[in-house]
Amino acid sequence: MPARVIAVANQKGGVAKTTTAHALAAGLVERGRTVLSIDLDPQASLTFAMGVEEEPEPSMHDVMMGRTQISEILYESNGIDLAPSSIDLAGSEVHLLTRTGREFVLQRALKPHLDSYDYVFIDCPPSLGILTINALTVAGEVLIPVQAETLSHRGVGQLLETVEEVKQFTNPDLHVSGVVVTMFDSRTNLGQEVVATLKATHDLRVFEPPIPKSVRVAEAPGRGLSVLSHASTSKPAAAYRRIAEEVDDGR
Ligand SMILES: Nc1ncnc2c1ncn2[C@@H]1O[C@H](COP(=O)(O)OP(=O)(O)O)[C@@H](O)[C@H]1O
Ligand SMILES: [Mg+2]
């Protein structure tokens, strides 16, 4: 069976896209699955969080420019294969805009690798630009991290509109697998509020449980580890494990 390709997307920054992509990849590796993680954000947060400290060369920038294969840029990090990003990926965004078939560059690059993995996670940048469109065009599903705070659902409608456009023009099979509620603070009721609003406004599946806010999550990237490795017995690690299981059960 070819890999399930999951784009982790939300044009809002700081909602835990990168954290969620990393933790779910780690959770699936713990379950014995093979995972490729693609860092498609020029800010390269996932690349850093997975322990790559030098500027990777070549990187996804070269892949998106069509001059390197994904297999030539891979790093290995705790059992996850990483296709790293670098700041010059921002430049390939400009280059892509002038090209015919620009939405399909990642799809073409990924195709030879789909039989080598159970899962491919794509960590998207905080925009709905051509890089995110490339991710949505190759993905079978989109997973949307939403921060548990008032009004955090407001960008989700726009993201869903983009998903509809992608379905219409480049990828009819795309679907939204669901929302992961992140940075949940049990002392407030905002998590429940966000879940209720998302269900009522957009009829979206919300994965359970929400991911608790915890300093253990925030300190993990600095160690080059996912929260599952950095704080294996913590509540957020357990929450991400349960969601990874839920994702895996949908296979
Ligand atoms: N559950 C959490 N508890 C505490 N901090 C978190 C949690 N999830 C993410 N963070 C922190 O919030 C910041 C933004 O997360 P990140 O995954 O980089 O978001 P995005 O990729 O959407 O921009 C990072 O510093 C990250 O470590
Ligand atoms: Mg990020």
For residue 37, the surrounding DSSP H or E stretch is: strand 35-39
- Rounded mean pLDDT, 106-124: 98
Protein residues with CB under 6 Å of any ligand 1 atom: 13-19, 45, 126, 182-183, 211, 213-214, 217-218, 221, 236
- pLDDT above 90: residue 190: no
- Rounded mean pLDDT, 92-110: 93
Confidence band, pLDDT 50/70/90 cuts, at residue 244: very high
- pLDDT above 80: residue 251: no
Of all protein residues, the one whose alpha carbon is nearest to atom 3 of ligand 1 is: 213
CB-count exposure of residue 172 (10 Å: 0-12, 13-18, 19+): exposed
Sorted by sequence, the CB contacts under 8 Å of residue 42 that are 6+ apart come out as 85, 86, 87, 88, 89, 90, 93, 125, 131
The model's pTM: 0.97
The predicted-structure confidence for 67-87, as pLDDT tens digits, reads as follows 999 999 999 999 999 999 999
Strand 175-182 with 141-147, pairing: parallel
Contact between 56 and 73 under an 8 Å Cβ cutoff? The reply is yes
193 or 13, greater pLDDT: 13
Q: What residue type is 46 in one-letter code?
A: L
C-alpha closest to that of 41 among 69, 9, 15: 9
Of all protein residues, the one whose alpha carbon is nearest to atom 6 of ligand 1 is: 218
pLDDT at position 121: 98
- pLDDT above 80: residue 22: yes
Closest atom of ligand 1 relative to the 184 alpha carbon = 1
How far apart (Å, rounded) are the C-alpha atoms in residues 214 and 231?
10
CB atoms within 10 A of CB 170: 17
Domains and CATH numbers, the chain: 4-249 (3.40.50.300)
- Rounded mean pLDDT, 149-166: 90
